[in-house]
Amino acid sequence: MILAKNAQDLTIKGLTGHKLLDKGKIFCYNMVSNIETLLKDGVFMDRTQQYIKKIERLLEERSKLEHILLQEKRLIKGSVITRFKKCGRKYCRCVTENQPHGPYLYLSRNIEGKTRLKRIKPEEEAWVVQYASNYREFRKARERIVKINAAILDLINTLEEVKSENYPEDTID
Ligand SMILES: [Zn+2]
């Protein structure tokens, strides 16, 4: 490509008359085609980058969640809830003063579609509460990973569309 500040500069380089005109056309053509290519690449980059960035963010989030799943923590299925109880004795304060006993801790579990409560022994409260909390954390991370995986797949499919160049089909009769 000829690079010149002005016509005089081109003349000095030995380019005059129709030669100058031709070189000018080539110069302009190159400029326009370069700009077109740059714009096309720029739009392409913008469109692909936004999807790539989204995928990268999700991969990063998933990696953190995977660490939660891989921790060496024990789990117990169910959630710990508290309940107050009336003991059944006729003259107990739980009846006479409406002060039920407790709170007691229960492990609430879904067994065959039904919620079942199991009273946690006081001496076992510490580890059951901890393991149930670990279980909740595990399930939460797992649930989010399932959503992230679906979102990543959607983005990958979109990215494929965006990256794909159209090419005319054969029109052989
Ligand atoms: Zn009572």
Q: How many CB atoms are located within 10 Å of the residue 76 CB?
A: 18
Q: How far is the CA of 86 from the centre of ligand 1 (A)?
A: 5
**At residue 97, does pLDDT exceed 50?**
yes
Q: How far is Cα 26 from Cα 10, in angstroms, rounded to an integer?
A: 14
Q: How many CB atoms are located within 10 Å of the residue 15 CB?
A: 18
Average pLDDT over the chain, rounded to an integer = 85
Given a contact cutoff of 8 angstroms between Cβ atoms, the answer to whether 29 and 23 are in contact is no
**Residue 59 corresponds to which tokens in the numbers above?**
């991969």
Q: How far is the CA of 95 from the centre of ligand 1 (A)?
A: 7
Q: How far is Cα 82 from Cα 105, in angstroms, rounded to an integer?
A: 5
**Residue 136 corresponds to which tokens in the numbers above?**
């909740």
> pTM for this one?
0.66
Q: How far is the CA of 84 from the centre of ligand 1 (A)?
A: 10
pLDDT: which is higher, 31 or 6: 31
Q: How far is the CA of 82 from the centre of ligand 1 (A)?
A: 17
Q: How far is the CA of 85 from the centre of ligand 1 (A)?
A: 7
**At residue 12, does pLDDT exceed 50?**
no
Q: How far is Cα 2 from Cα 26, in angstroms, rounded to an integer?
A: 9
Domain parsing of the chain, residue ranges: 79-162
| Cβ within 8 Å of residue 144, ≥6 positions away | 61, 65
Q: How far is the CA of 11 from the centre of ligand 1 (A)?
A: 111
pLDDT: which is higher, 30 or 105: 105
Q: How far is the CA of 109 from the centre of ligand 1 (A)?
A: 26
Strand order in the sheet with 114-119: 79-85, 101-111, 114-119
Q: How far is the CA of 101 from the centre of ligand 1 (A)?
A: 6
The residues pairing with 81 across neighbouring beta strands, listed in sequence order, are 106
Q: How far is Cα 36 from Cα 25, in angstroms, rounded to an integer?
A: 16
Q: Could you read off the pLDDT of 52-92 as tens digits, one per residue?
A: 999 999 999 999 999 999 999 999 999 999 999 999 898 99
**At residue 2, does pLDDT exceed 60?**
no
Q: How far is the CA of 124 from the centre of ligand 1 (A)?
A: 23
SS3 state of residue 110 = strand
Q: How far is the CA of 104 from the centre of ligand 1 (A)?
A: 13
